[in-house]
Amino acid sequence: MKYLFLLLIGNCFVQLNAQYQIGHTTITYIDASRSNRSIATEIYYPSLTAGNNTTAASGQFPVIVFGHGFVMAWSAYQNIWEHYTPLGYILVFPKTESALTVDHQNFGWDLQYLVTKIQDEGQLGSSVLFNAVAPETALMGHSMGGGAAFLAADSLSSNGNTNFKTLIGLAPAESSTNGVSSIASAASVTKPSLIFSGSGDGVTPPIDHHIPMYNGLASSCKAFVNILGGGHCYFAQTDFFCDFGETATISGVTITRSQQQQTTYALLDNWLDYYLRNNCAAKDEYMTDIQSMAGIIGQTTCTENVLPVITENTGNLISSVSGISYQWYYEGNVISNSNSISILPTLTGNYTVEVTYADGCIRLSTIYVYTIVGLEEFTNNYSISPNPTNGIVTIKANSAEILTVELFDVFGKFIDSIKTSDTIDIRFLNNGIYFLSIEGIKYRIIKN
């Protein structure tokens, strides 16, 4: 309860100090590819002045295309646009398929159509959104609209749409008219996806709706948030039809509507901030919260930007995760020419590695304390002499085997690989400290 109270205070602070006012416009789009289907759409956008058809604020803003629930009006999601528009998002609400008889497939196509159409709006000189639309777009929906968002995500993924970045379902319902299925469509969705579920949802029981959709997702990054004591309708404002349906079911709703929404925002804010704005710190916060936030049971398969961990294998230090580039540090200082996933350490002390990911985010590992094994500890294996040496080094083993000796400089840079059964010649090297690696064990040697 204390945590949720802090969330409420924190959210009030964000809203009171939000950068943008809420602008609003209504546009009816005509989809010529579907017999001139009319798609009446309500759009809320960041503005310097609140009101209808006001000038959009300067800048470009990510887009959230939102699908409403069954027999629920777009206006039931006032809490959504009042939260996210001031934070710098454009909210797009199609008003189609609001009757008792619905076509889920067409609703999914409406959402899909608007993902592209809102980009066109940003290029239209006469539009209030001219030059205000960023390419990054999320599909989001509640209940029936959540299921329809899966249908739209299926098509967008198959078409290779580059604007579509992430899918969010708020208690998404299986949509199965006209032979389609949201659960089946999940298998074609490869974008990062986040599903919220209330444990007390009796309208779309998680075991029949939310969980199969989550399990079916093909995305390598997906997350499921079970809000303990949460309901189906509490993601939206009070709505007669939705609330009536919920009270008619046996459910275990034990938290308030406000508590459920604040818990949702606490996680979803960071998710959107990362996937639509590439805010690396937001992803870190999300990954921490989904594992430790009170009042939820969270799970995720996401591994983007996880903290690197250094492991040791046959004398090499290795980053536990792959990136597009690396930088190794010794005692906090850059190690020159150490830009691979692994290094051969040459000094006892503290090592860290900085990994840059494909999205540009950079993560620094925790410290790995490395200790160079002294030469004297391996006298039973090999005898290396003289040390220091003027250049000719004799290596004596327990047998007359042919050894492969790898030679490195003091910074771990590879110099040469030498096969020998007795001596090696390093007279060509400058005076200094070098390392011989024999069967993965490093030996320090001084040339003078």
According to the model, what pLDDT value does residue 376 have?
A: 41
Q: Which CATH superfamily is domain 2-300 in?
A: Alpha/Beta hydrolase fold, catalytic domain (3.40.50.1820)
pLDDT at 238: 92
Q: What is the pLDDT of residue 440?
A: 72
Q: CA 349 to CA 347: how far, in whole Å? A: 6
* Most confident option among 5-14, 79-88, 100-109, 371-380: 79-88
Residue ranges of domains in the chain: 2-300, 310-370, 375-447
For residue 6, what pLDDT is reported? 39
Q: Which two tokens stand for residue 166?
A: 């992430």
Range of 242-256, 261-275, 308-322 with top mean pLDDT: 261-275
pLDDT, residue 373, reads 56
**What pLDDT is recorded for position 398?**
66
What's the first-to-final CA gap in the chain, in angstroms? 69
Least confident of 2-16, 80-94, 126-140, 162-176: 2-16
- Our measurement of the distance from residue 265's CA atom to the centroid of its chain's CA atoms, rounded to an integer in Å, reads 16
Confidence check: pLDDT of 217 > 90: yes
**Mean pLDDT, residues 22-45:** 97
E strand or H helix that includes residue 21: strand 21-31
Predicted confidence (pLDDT) at residue 4 exceeds the cutoff of 60: no
Q: What pLDDT shows up at residue 445?
A: 83
Q: What is the mean pLDDT of residues 231-260?
A: 90
Helix (H) or strand (E) holding 407: strand 403-409
The yes-or-no verdict on residue 377 having pLDDT over 50 is no
- The pTM for the full model equals 0.76
> What average pLDDT does the structure give for the chain?
89
Contact (CB, 8 A) for 395 and 405: yes
174-198 pLDDT tens trace? 988 778 899 999 999 999 999 999 9
Mean pLDDT check: name the lowest of 87-91, 254-258, 289-293, 443-447.
443-447
Torsion of CA 246, 249, 255, 261, to 10 degrees: -30
Which of 115-129, 330-344, 379-393 comes out lowest in average pLDDT? 379-393
Percent of the chain at pLDDT exceeding 70: 93
Q: 100-109, 130-139, 148-157, 403-412: which range is least confident on average? A: 403-412
pLDDT tens-place string over residues 329-349: 999 999 998 999 999 887 888
Q: Which tokens belong to 32?
A: 């010529």
Instruction: Classify strands 193-198 and 222-227 as parallel, antiparallel or unpaired.
Output: parallel
Please determine, for residue 379, whether its predicted confidence score (pLDDT) is greater than 70: no
Q: Is the dihedral of CA 95, 96, 102, 107 positive or negative?
A: negative
**Residue-wise pLDDT tens digits, 394-445:** 887 766 677 888 888 877 788 999 888 788 899 999 888 788 888 777 777 8
Q: Residue 386 and residue 398: Cα distance in Å, rounded? A: 18
Gap between the Cα atoms of 105 and 152, Å rounded: 8
| pLDDT score of 380 more than 90 | no
Whether 375-447 and 2-300 are alike in CATH topology: the answer is no
Which of 78, 25, 27 lies closest to 52 in space, CA to CA?
A: 25
The CATH number of 375-447 is 2.60.40.3080
DSSP 8-state assignment for residue 28 = E
Percent of the chain with pLDDT over 90: 64
pLDDT at residue 412 in the model: 74
- Residue 400's pLDDT is what? 65
Q: Band of the pLDDT at 381, cuts 50, 70, 90? A: low
